[in-house]
Amino acid sequence: MTIFYITGTSSGIGKALAEQALKIEETIVYGFSRTCSIEHASYIHTSVDLSNVDEASNIKLVKHPDAYKVVLINNAGTIGEVKPIGEQASSSIANIFNINTIAPVLLTNKFINLYKRIDIPMIIINISSGAARHPIESWAPYCASKAAIDMFSQVVQAENGYESDNVKIFSVAPGVVDTDMQEQVRAIDPKDFIHHNKFVEYKNSGQLATPVSVANKILEIIEKPLEYQNVLLDVRKH
């Protein structure tokens, strides 16, 4: 049996990941998001607001010591306000880091603690972004929160050994994907975001990947994690 714990399963990549994982035989998926949009006998939902640190801290992960493989996917993310620093609300900045950085760190800590004394393969996928590796104006908190996840992932792998068969962690940039976040970016006032037209063109020219295609590439990584040596991955290159 394979056990998945996935955040942000109400829509986008998270929902696609959960639905594609549920097609795998002998799989149980635990989903964590504010709303539930999946109905399946092997899907168990927990309603949680990951922008609330107390709620994220109190998430309970159900232990499956007899599982063949356990997988944590920290997918939930937010771009928050898209404006230059100096013009953003403090509440938006805090939410970005709570959802994109604090919640994944808390859940990874819980996950490893839960299974570290059991001889069972643990795979952790942190959904990062190309924005973690390239500065984008008006996205400073988003870029920084995802860059923090990249470094966190590298440190966790170093702690467990880069040649480890037991713990494999990847920080995965999914590319430009047709999600609610992209719709939000296209709705931004161009005066606040100098790259606005570029993101509109991504949509108009059909350059956006589908959540299902990205989910399937991530599941390929999970299926054969030992084939990937780098912690930082970009699905467009695999």
Helix axes 90-97, 140-160, angle to 10 degrees: 20
Residue with tokens 């950085």: 101
pLDDT in tens, the chain (238 residues): 999 999 999 999 999 999 999 999 999 999 999 999 999 999 999 999 999 999 999 999 999 999 999 999 999 999 999 999 999 999 999 999 999 999 999 999 999 999 999 999 999 999 999 999 999 999 999 999 999 999 999 999 999 998 888 999 999 999 999 888 888 889 888 888 989 888 889 888 988 999 999 999 999 999 999 999 899 999 887 6
In a domain, 138, yes or no: yes
- CATH code of residue 96: 3.40.50.720
The reply to whether 30 belongs to the active site is no
Catalytic residue among 5, 30, 115, 142: 142
The predicted structure's pLDDT at residue 193: 92
In a domain, 182, yes or no: no
Mapping DSSP onto H, E and C, the string for 188-213 reads CCHHHCCCHHHHHHHHHCCCCECHHH
Task: With beta carbons less than 8 A apart as the criterion, state whether 77 and 66 touch.
Answer: no
The domain tally of the chain equals: 1
Mapping DSSP onto H, E and C, the string for the chain reads CEEEEEECCCCHHHHHHHHHHCCCCCEEEEEEECCCCCCCCCEEEEECCCCCHHHHHCCCCCCCCCCCEEEEEECCCCCCCCCCCCCCCHHHHHHHHHHHHHHHHHHHHHHHHHHCCCCCCEEEEEECCHHHCCCCCCCHHHHHHHHHHHHHHHHHHHHHCCCCCCEEEEEEECCCECCHHHHHHHCCCHHHCCCHHHHHHHHHCCCCECHHHHHHHHHHHHHCHHHCCCCEEEHHHC
Query: What is the rounded (10 degree) CA torsion for 135, 184, 11, 14?
Result: 0
The predicted structure's pLDDT at residue 209: 92
The predicted structure's pLDDT at residue 189: 87
Task: With beta carbons less than 8 A apart as the criterion, state whether 124 and 74 touch.
Answer: yes
Pair of tokens at residue 231? 């912690």
The predicted structure's pLDDT at residue 117: 93
In a domain, 78, yes or no: yes
In a domain, 189, yes or no: no
Residue 57: give the domain boundaries: 2-175+210-237
In a domain, 126, yes or no: yes
The predicted structure's pLDDT at residue 124: 98
The predicted structure's pLDDT at residue 173: 97
The pair phi, psi for residue 76, each rounded to 5°, is -55, 135
In a domain, 58, yes or no: yes
Rounded Cα gap, residues 57 and 61, in angstroms: 11
Is the overall model pTM greater than 0.75, yes or no? Answer: yes
In a domain, 170, yes or no: yes
In a domain, 57, yes or no: yes
5 closest CA partner among 72, 100, 54: 72
